[in-house]
A and B are shown apart, each in its own frame.
Chain A
C-alpha cells in the first residue's frame, strides 16, 4: 500500500475537468485507489464520488493505492497533478 499527500493548488479545486482527468488516469489500473478528504474516503475511480467531495483550492488530500501496480498509479497521479497544475 502506498499513501501520498497532495496539496491542491488549482484555482477551482478539483472540479469537472480535473476530476475527469484524475478518474480517467487511475481507472485502467488494477489497484484499489482511493482519495481521502476531510475524513471521507472515496473510490478514486468513481467520478461522482470524487466530485461529491467538492475539493477546493488549498485542500490537503491523501491518495491511497493498493495492489500490484500501486507504484505506477502514484507515478501517474504525480504526473497528472504536475501537468495539469492541480497540486503538489
Chain B
C-alpha cells in the first residue's frame, strides 16, 4: 500500500465535501437538530395531573376522592353513580381515569377493602394510560394504607434521576455515526462506478486496498468530526439566561457520561469505518442513487430495530437475538452504553468484546468492499 495514493483519495473526498455545502449540513446540522429536538420532546413533556372520576356513593366518593386529590399528580373531579355514567365522562374527555368502588363499600374502620377494584381508562394510548394507572395506584396505596414504607431507589450505574434520554443518547450517537456515512459512501461510490471515474482510477497504478483505505480514511474523518460534534452536544449543558422576551434555555443535552469520551468516540469511529465499506459493497448492487436509498430499509432499519437502540437485545424474541448479534450497531450501542452509562474502560471484558467485534466487522466489510472493486490487474 502506498500512503501517498491513500492520502490523495481521502484528500479528494474532503475537497468534494468542501464544495458540497448541503451534504456538510446533512452531516453536521441535521443530527444536531434531531438530537436537540428529541431532547426537548423527552425532557419537557407537558404532564398534567391525572383527572380522576370515582363511581361510588356520594359519601364514599367525597371521602376517598378528597384524600386522593391530596396525593401528588391526582386531580379528583367527578363522582358518578354508575360505571355507565363514568364511561360517558371519559367519552366526553372530562376525566382520564375512573375508579369504581362496589356499591356496598364503606370507607373507614367499618368497611373491608375489596380484593379488586375496577379502573376504567379510554383504551387509546397504552403508554400514557399506563402512567396514569401507576400514579393512581401509588395514590391509592398511600391513602388507604399510610403505614406502608415508601421505596427509596438507588442505582449501581447512572443515577436515580436519569431519564430515558440518558439511556437513549448513546444509542442515538451510534445511530448517527452509522446512518449518514453509509448513505454518503454508498452514493459516492455508486457515482464512481457509473460516472466513469472508477474505470479511470483503475487504469492508474492504485490498488483496490488503497482505494478502500482512502475511502475509509476520507469518510472516516468526516464521520469522526460528526461524532465529535454530536457527542459534545449531547454531553454539554450551557445555560443561557432569559433575555428580553426569550425564556432561559440550555444548549446541549447534559447527558451524564460516566466513562471516557475518547473511548465512546473510538466505538463510533470503528462502526463508521465498517459502514463506509459496507456502503462501497452495497453500491455494487445499485445502478442509481435511488437504488442506494432502497438499501436504507434493508441495512439501516433492521439494525435500528434489533440493534438495541429501542429495546435491549436480551428482550428480543429468541429467534431474532442471534440476528441482532450479527449486526454492527448492536455492538456499537452496547459499547457506547458500557462507556457512557457504566463508565467501562478497556479493563471491561464486555467493552473489549464490543471493540473486537467492531474491528472484525470493519475488516470483513473492507475485504468485501475491496472484492467488489474489479480490476483484472494482479
A, B assembled together: no
Report which B residues bind A (CB closer than 8 A). none
